[in-house]
Structure 1
């Protein structure tokens, strides 16, 4: 299926790009998606070129909490918002990518955040990590639905500016092949090590139960990474600990899942979209 076909199918008979019964909404509404997002950030940081741009041409690297909040708001807008909000959000992100450039002082090479191959790495790792989190932490998704999720997310890829379909897998087998095929150019640079420090180093201060939960969940996130990524981060030597943490994390996520119904989670996400910075697009459209 082409990216354009995916966009057409996703928007049938409702005002957003993702239908109420889409696999994407089910995945993003689940608490496990937050952990998948954390794992995706760890994988994305292993792109040394993008990290140089990110670290040297933006202020986001020094505002981890704000960056995470903005990222969460963006995906909520795209997945649960109407098309006007999603289009405004994606246009904003594309503008930031266009302006994010950095010139290597040694080689003189100009690195651009909107390079298609780097955008594809960011998109594909996000899809991969969300599926890994779903599979490990109890979201009920069949292999066919996993493939459907990958196809649905072609919409998100197009919105962010990825036009080359050859960079975008369309099923789980192709996605795994893509992820494994990128290892020859990935690396852990100083910029990535600093930016991801809080995702890899647990906070050991405060309430003991909170500390314990944080350590367990953080190790559960690290368990989601491919073996080669754990090798680059220097944590490949404790797979049994990470697997044990993942099992405990699954129980914790199951408890969080029971605290609210799926409908409540979707309704809350949809309501938050109306308070996002893109909320004015609806009133502008009404005036026009």
Structure 2
């Protein structure tokens, strides 16, 4: 979970280099995972209605995705103060917002704990699923630890960590409970349409079709079968999706990390300067600790 800052060394933040989260969140497949999370989150009618009523999603979807990535990067790699400040900012914004239930017409606050829990679990499930399915060597114990560590993230957005899944079995049980409440109404279908063909200047449409669409298709294809049925359109066979995810992960990871991490806002490079070269995130360092974590009696 990261150690508190002391006068003896730099502040590792809320996670720190010893965490699974620190090692994983710098992986480039996180962008695919973020799109999968959007697809999954949109299946909760109230959650997606809160987005539609309180943001210009169709015209600022890129900005929303980048702001989410910035929040995840700040919480993962920033100082304790920066992470807490980012969480306070999100909670303050959410406290002022409400939306209308698409079925009953009831007004509801967007910081309803049920909605916050859905958004959190959809995000963590998507991150973990894409990381593992694309070839990141997370052991079962490391996967459980990842889910547990990210209850810190849940606290920052206003949830009681004791009410948040602390392992993969609890996360799976949560999705079993919530499934009957999911649906693909007009709002979800609008999200699907946007993610399949986001608006772009005419000169950029070929690039969008060449680069974006295959990644969006991968994100959609990686959803659970019930999500495909709710959206009402098929996906590639699971084996094909897995093969493509592994190939895409391999290609993206072949881009030098130093080049990838130059993209703003540069959270990882700032963290490495603060913590030293030994803090460099790498999912493959997880292999060396997997045997220790998977020993009987270790969490």
Interval of TM-score (by shorter of Structure 1 and Structure 2): 0.7 to 0.9
Using structure 2 for the length normalisation, give the TM-score: 0.78
* Kept in 2: contact 1:10–1:152 (CA 8 A): no
Q: Does 1:65 align with 2:62?
A: yes
2:188 to 186, 192, 206: 192
Q: 2:86: which partner in 1?
A: 89
CA distance in 2, matches of 1:15, 1:49: 36
Pairwise CA RMSD of aligned residues?
Answer: 2.9
> After superposition, what is the alpha-carbon deviation per residue over 1:130-178, rounded to whole angstroms, capped at 9, x for unaligned?
1110111111211110001011001001111101623x11111111121
Ranges in structure 1 where 5+ consecutive residues have no aligned partner: 1-8, 274-288
1:27 Cα shift? 1.6
Q: Is 2:134 aligned against 1:137?
A: yes
Per the alignment, in what secondary structure is the counterpart of residue 29 of structure 1? coil
Q: What residue is the counterpart of 2:229 in the other structure?
A: 231
Q: Secondary structure at the match of 1:111?
A: strand
Which residue of 2 is the match for residue 11 of structure 1? 3
Q: 160, 164, 167: which is aligned to 1:171?
A: 167
1:203/1:255 CA distance change after superposition, 3 Å:
farther
1:111, distance to aligned residue in structure 2 (A): 1.1
The counterpart of 1:247, out of the listed 221, 231, 243, is 243
Contact 1:223–1:246 (CA under 8 A) maintained in structure 2: no
Match of 1:283 in 2: none
In 1, Cα distance between equivalents of 2:199 and 2:66: 19
User: Displacement of 1:34 after TM fit?
Assistant: 1.1
When residues 107 and 27 of structure 1 are mapped into structure 2, their CA distance, relative to the original with a 3 A threshold, is same
- Tell me the SS of whatever aligns to 1:183: helix
- State the SS of the aligned residue for 1:253: helix
Provide the C-alpha distance between the structure 2 equivalents of 1:60 and 1:209, rounded to a whole number of angstroms: 22
Per the TM alignment, residue 61 of structure 1 is displaced from its structure 2 partner at its CA by 4.9
Counterpart of 2:25 in 1: which secondary structure?
Answer: helix
| C-alpha deviation, 1:49, in angstroms | 1.0
Q: What 5-or-longer segments of structure 2 have no aligned partner?
A: 6-10, 272-299
Alignment CA distance shift 1:213-1:65 (3 Å):
closer
Aligned length: 262
Q: Does the Cα contact within 8 Å between 2:148 and 2:167 map onto a contact in 1?
A: yes
Per the TM alignment, residue 258 of structure 1 is displaced from its structure 2 partner at its CA by 2.2
Kept in 2: contact 1:223–1:243 (CA 8 A):
no
TM-score (norm 1): 0.80
